Amino acid sequence: MLRNMLRGVPVVDKDNKLLGVISQGDIVGLVARGIDPERVVVSDIMCRYPVTVYSNSNILLAIHKMLGNRLHRVIVVNKELELEGIITSLDLCHILRKFLRKTLRFQAK
């Protein structure tokens, strides 16, 4: 996570089924308690029931879930609960910027 500057990652099994998610906060919590993160198994600290949306969900549902749960990311799965991806608050900022540029350019004409 540190090497790739990730604040959270999904945990999947060998069939790509979502098992949970581990966040930067989970790791920080270990360190704050004096526990060496390298001595901890991921499944012991991951959130086993992460907030998810289906890959065919409306983006507004993802935003609603992120805001309602005070999250920076939501995990995207398919109907078989296989990992499809992650939507982050940064992704949403990029979408908003693109939308605003297009909208403001249209209004300026």
Q: Give the separation between CA 47 and CA 19, rounded to whole angstroms.
A: 9
pLDDT tens, residue by residue, 51-98: 999 999 999 999 999 999 999 999 999 999 999 999 999 999 999 999
8-108 has which CATH code? Answer: 3.10.580.10
DSSP character at residue 46: S
**Domain extents for the chain?**
8-108
- Percentages helix, strand, coil for the chain (3-state, rounded to 5) are 40, 25, 30
| Cβ–Cβ under 8 Å, residues 97 and 91 | no
Residue 2 has pLDDT above 80, yes or no: no
The reported pLDDT for the residue numbered 3 is: 72
- Global pTM? 0.81
Cα–Cα distance for residue pair 65/67, rounded to 1 Å? 6
Q: What is the distance between the alpha carbons of residues 8 and 52, in angstroms, rounded to a whole number?
A: 14
Paired sense of beta strands 52-54 and 73-77, if any: parallel
